[in-house]
């Protein structure tokens, strides 16, 4: 089936199929289908929404944002580099096998294995040993103190060692086995992933016997589904669509400021962004507040650093270059031939295309020849993981580590060796290495401030704004959006 036709079928089925909300199944409409269901193969919102319900993590964050037990019931530091975790003794995977410390060790070794090439590797590569001490105890050893360890471990999904070994990576991705509150049932490519409730779950049971995560790339269709009662929860609604729900009899808007930020990726290794005048022109040409007020409904917050106030490591007083369209135009003229090079602005459907078009126009007004290159989400992720030289010339993207710590947010994007790295800078590498090993919070904050200052001066990125997550929910749905954008089905309630 041709890809575009597959999406048309998905949208048509989404509208045509009624939902029995709160009774037989809970229907969630996503902006795209997951690129993977193996929690260690990829890292993007639409995958994350689904697989976080199939798998448990070592620790989690509660709805207030505090780190809380999950598979681990307790932990204690035995030295600056060693932590012993006590695990629940009553956890089973969906195939009935017991989850033990061996599975935790395997999950850590798998995600940190260079040959496995997980895009999450940089989040966990401070862990140099995962040593089971008993079926319910494991010791993690880091290569130096690591104050962000627990914040990172909220993302560590536990996979079954024997199942993965027997199935292999590709088969496991197609039919994942976890220990979470929902079990994988089916994946109809381009249409939906079906999960069923794990009635043997050790913790809070899911309220819905079946959950359906549908791929509905058109946000207007997602909104129409919700208003027609064909879905129960939809993600990725913009400010105009959320406003339409305020008077709805069937549905309601839900929003929260998140740790996710929007930004422009400039590639200083490729023309024209090897010219600092063009990078400065980009920064001065974009009217962040105008976009927030005129397009986004005024809820997002402009930022000048690659963190949000929801992160540890946020630095007050970091100022970006002021919006100055006249200066932007002058810089483009001063750059001469560099200012005439055609620039593709690479984007994907997960990003608000109204914003993309506004930025394109602002850059054109500055005299730059910018065209929009819209590609599918998996292709966008692959291209932005090619390293600093081969990555797109200019891309508009969003970033979130789902950990609310600067180590997770900055290390992947700015430290040499990561596939996500935007630009390599030895001074930044040193600061990031020191900050992730410093036990003194004040010392960490001081190093992160220096990183912010270097990035603001060299402009490999233009941070735009702290994003708002916009959900639409059926009136009976009780769901609390969180800054890390977790969507745990067993934390949702249906009230008639």
| The pLDDT of residue 15 | 41
Whether the Cβ atoms of residue 132 and residue 100 lie closer than 8 Å to each other: yes
pLDDT, one tens digit per residue, over 332-361 is 999 999 999 999 999 998 889 999 999 999
Task: Return d(Cα 346, Cα 358) in angstroms, integer.
Answer: 14
3-state secondary structure the chain: CCHHHHHHHHHHHHHHCCCCECCCEEEEEECCCCCCCCCCCCCCHHHHHHHHHHCCECEEECCCCCEEECCEEEEEEEECCEEEEEECCCCECCCCCECCHHHHHHHHHHHHCHHHCCCCHHHHCCEEEEEEEECCEEEEEECCCCCCHHHHHCCCECCCHHHHHHHCHHHHHHCCCCCCCEEEEEEECCCEEEEEECCCCCCCCCCCCEEEEEECCCHHHHHHHHHHCCCCEECCCCHHHHHHHHHCCCEEEEEEEEEEEEEEEECCCCCCCCCHHHHHHHHHHCCHHHHHHHCCCCCCEECCCCCCCCCECCCCCCCCCCCCHHHHHHHHHHCHHHHHCCEEEEECCCCCHHHHHHHHHHHHHCCCCEEEEECCHHHHHHHHCCHHHHCCCEEEEEECCCCCEHHHHHHHHHCCCCCCCCCCCHHHHHHHHHHHHCCCHHHHHHHHHHHHHHHHHHCCEEEEEEEEEEEEEECCEECCCCCCCCCCHHHCEECC
In the chain the domains, ranked by start, together with CATH numbers, are: 3-39+180-250+475-494 (3.40.190.10), 59-163 (3.90.76.10), 258-467 (3.10.105.10)
**Predicted pLDDT at 401:** 86
Mean pLDDT across the chain: 92
What's the pLDDT tens digit per position in 113-123? 999 988 888 88
Predicted TM-score (pTM) of this structure? 0.84
Write out the chain's pLDDT in tens, 496 residues: 333 333 333 444 444 344 444 558 999 999 888 989 999 987 778 899 999 999 999 999 988 889 999 999 999 999 999 999 999 999 999 999 999 999 999 999 999 999 998 888 888 999 999 999 999 999 999 999 999 999 999 999 999 999 999 999 999 999 999 999 999 999 999 899 999 999 999 999 999 999 999 999 899 999 999 999 999 999 999 989 999 999 899 999 999 999 999 999 999 999 999 999 999 999 999 999 999 999 999 999 999 999 999 999 999 999 899 999 999 999 999 999 999 999 999 999 888 999 999 999 999 999 999 999 999 888 998 999 888 899 999 999 999 888 899 999 999 899 998 888 999 999 999 999 999 999 999 999 999 999 999 999 999 999 999 999 999 999 999 999 999 888 999 999 999 7
pLDDT for 10 equals 40
What is the pLDDT at residue 23? Answer: 56
Q: What's the pLDDT at 468?
A: 94
- Amino acid 35: pLDDT: 87
pLDDT tens digit string along 370-389? 999 999 888 998 999 888 89
């Amino acid at each position: 089936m041709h890809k575009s036709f597959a999406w048309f079928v998905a949208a048509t089925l989404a509208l045509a199929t009624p939902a029995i909300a709160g009774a037989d199944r809970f229907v969630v409409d996503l902006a795209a289908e997951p690129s993977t269901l193996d929690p260690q193969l990829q890292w993007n919102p639409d995958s994350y929404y689904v697989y976080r319900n199939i798998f448990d993590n070592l620790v989690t964050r509660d709805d207030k944002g505090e780190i809380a037990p999950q598979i681990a019931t307790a932990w204690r530091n035995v030295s600056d580099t060693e932590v012993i975790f006590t695990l629940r003794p009553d956890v089973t995977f969906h195939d009935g096998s017991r989850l033990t410390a061996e599975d935790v060790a395997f999950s850590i070794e798998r995600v940190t294995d260079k040959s496995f090439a997980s895009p999450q590797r940089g989040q966990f590569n401070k862990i140099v040993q995962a040593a089971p001490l008993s079926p319910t105890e494991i010791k993690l050893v880091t290569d130096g103190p690591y104050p962000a360890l627990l914040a990172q471990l909220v993302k560590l999904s536990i996979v079954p060692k024997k199942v993965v070994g027997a199935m292999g990576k590709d088969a496991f991705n197609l039919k994942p086995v976890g220990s979470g509150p929902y079990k994988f049932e089916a994946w109809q490519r381009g249409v939906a992933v079906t999960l069923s409730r794990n009635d043997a779950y050790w913790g809070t049971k899911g309220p819905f016997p079946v959950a359906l995560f549908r791929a509905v790339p058109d946000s207007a269709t997602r909104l129409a589904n919700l208003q027609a009662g064909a879905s129960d929860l939809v993600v990725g609604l913009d400010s105009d669509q959320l406003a339409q729900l305020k008077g709805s009899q069937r549905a309601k808007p839900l929003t929260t400021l998140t740790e996710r930020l929007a930004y422009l990726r400039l590639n200083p290794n490729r023309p024209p962004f090897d010219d600092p005048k063009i990078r400065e022109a980009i920064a001065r040409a974009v009217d962040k507040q105008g976009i927030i007020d005129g397009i986004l409904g005024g809820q997002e917050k402009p930022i000048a650093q690659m963190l949000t106030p929801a992160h540890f490591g946020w630095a007050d007083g970091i100022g970006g270059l002021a919006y100055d369209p006249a200066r932007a135009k002058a810089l483009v003229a001063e750059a001469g031939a560099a200012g005439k090079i055609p620039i593709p602005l690479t984007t994907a459907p997960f990003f608000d295309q109204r914003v993309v078009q506004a930025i394109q126009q602002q850059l054109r007004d500055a005299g730059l020849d910018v065209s929009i290159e819209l590609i599918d989400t998996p292709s966008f992720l692959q291209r932005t993981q090619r390293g600093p030289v081969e990555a797109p010339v200019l891309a508009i993207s969003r970033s979130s580590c789902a950990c609310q710590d600067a180590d997770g947010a900055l290390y992947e994007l700015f430290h040499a060796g990561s596939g996500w790295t935007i630009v390599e800078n030895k001074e930044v590498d040193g600061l990031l290495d020191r900050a992730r090993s410093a036990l003194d919070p004040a010392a960490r904050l001081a190093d992160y401030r220096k990183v912010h200052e270097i990035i603001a001066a060299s402009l490999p990125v233009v941070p735009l704004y702290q994003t708002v997550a916009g959900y639409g929910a059926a009136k009976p749905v009780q769901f609390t959006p969180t800054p890390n954008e977790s969507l745990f089905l067993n934390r949702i309630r249906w009230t008639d």
